[in-house]
Structure 1
Amino acid sequence: MTIERPEPSFSNDETGMLRSFLDHFRGTVRLQASGLTDDQLAQTLPPSDLTLGGMLKHLAFVEDYWFSYNLAAHEPSPPWDTAPWGDDPDWDWHSAAGATHAELDALLAAAIARSDACLDAALAEDPDLGRAVARPRDPAKGGTATLRWVLVHMVEEYARHAGHADLIRQSIDGATDV
């Protein structure tokens, strides 16, 4: 499996710049998990219970939640549609235990492809990043996100977890240049 980590563009319009940073961090996290055994993907860096495998599944969920569910107003797809969120609010992280690297990476790659398709469709319909997403949120919880907010949030989400992935990966095999 070859994972690409494109460099963010130095000069682009706002949408292109945000997408290039998102693609860079998507590739960074996937690269941090590459080359590890399934057991290594389940390793934690105490005192945290975060794992690289859990991170891959969590990011697949976040992709689907923001781009498919909120932006495009699609209903949750498997495995999110039947996840026992009430029993474990961190189910996406914890349920990765026992899954293979191939399964988890494929789940994330498919979620990224769906997200890009939702984003492409939304931008083709209306390229204004200031427009609200299709699924409004409860105003008591801060109002409705804009397309710009979703893109910035996803860059932030991946950048934060890329830092976690750096630390976890280094604790597993000493790699610092992945």
Structure 2
Amino acid sequence: MTSDQVQPVERSRPLQAAGERATLNSLLDFLRGTVVNKVAGLTDEQAFSHSVPASALTPAGLVKHLAGTERFWFAIDFAAQDIEWPWPDDNPHGNFVLSPDDTLPALVADYQAECARSRAVVAAASLDDMAQGEGMNFNLRFALTHLIEETARHLGHLDLLRESIDGSTGQ
């Protein structure tokens, strides 16, 4: 692996006998680490390739989408932070589209930064706190559960894409 490739991160197994907050946080963090590990070792060429011909999904596009999802659900909708919208106007909930300036290491760094911002938002709130974004009607518990589902679903996509690229399988 070269220095311009994404490096794997250490993950801890999700807590199996903890309180609700710790269980939700540890499961989501395990999945977040798995996203990074699924793309670790890929070159930009591999990460930007359409390795499953019937699909336009790419590993890099999924990482970019998950970074936007973290920002959208926690920072914008839940915490009502005044920060840049994560998706282009012509694709308001997608962000799978890559720009010519994107690189996999930069996309992973952005994802990890959004996850850190999300952790700070979650740490500052109660699971019963309601979203502060305009027109939002959900609590933090729902946001955490939704992000667990969203991240896990896209990890399934990453499993298929990665195996198609280089045969790599596993957690």
TM-score by length of 1: 0.85
Aligned to 1:30, the other structure's residue is in SS state: helix
**Equivalent-residue separation in structure 1 for 2:148 and 2:93 (angstroms):** 21
The corresponding residue for 1:84 is 88
Equivalent residue for 2:109, pick from 106, 109, 113? 106
Contact kept in structure 1, 2:8 and 2:40, CA below 8 Å: no
Aligned CA distance change for structure 1 residues 63 and 110 (closer, same or farther; 3 Å): same
The corresponding residue for 1:141 is none
Residue 62 (structure 1) aligned with residue 62 (structure 2): no
**Equivalent-residue separation in structure 2 for 1:97 and 1:52 (angstroms):** 15
Residue 40 (structure 1) aligned with residue 84 (structure 2): no
The offset of 1:48, in angstroms, is 1.2
Aligned CA distance change for structure 1 residues 23 and 69 (closer, same or farther; 3 Å): same
Root mean square deviation of aligned Cα = 1.8
Gap runs ≥5 in structure 1 = 139-143
Residue 12 (structure 1) aligned with residue 10 (structure 2): no
TM-score by length of 2: 0.88
The offset of 1:133, in angstroms, is 1.2
Contact kept in structure 1, 2:88 and 2:95, CA below 8 Å: no
Contact kept in structure 2, 1:18 and 1:151, CA below 8 Å: yes
User: Aligned pairs, how many?
Assistant: 164
**Equivalent-residue separation in structure 2 for 1:90 and 1:146 (angstroms):** 20
**Equivalent-residue separation in structure 1 for 2:88 and 2:24 (angstroms):** 33
Contact kept in structure 2, 1:54 and 1:96, CA below 8 Å: no
The offset of 1:95, in angstroms, is 2.5
**Higher helix proportion, which one?**
1
The corresponding residue for 1:131 is 129
The offset of 1:15, in angstroms, is 0.6
- One-letter code aligned to 1:8: P
The offset of 1:41, in angstroms, is 0.5
**Equivalent-residue separation in structure 1 for 2:61 and 2:100 (angstroms):** 7
Aligned CA distance change for structure 1 residues 13 and 97 (closer, same or farther; 3 Å): farther
Give 4+ residue runs of structure 1 displaced > 6 Å after superposition.
none
Identical residues among aligned pairs (%)? 39
Gap runs ≥5 in structure 2 = 1-6
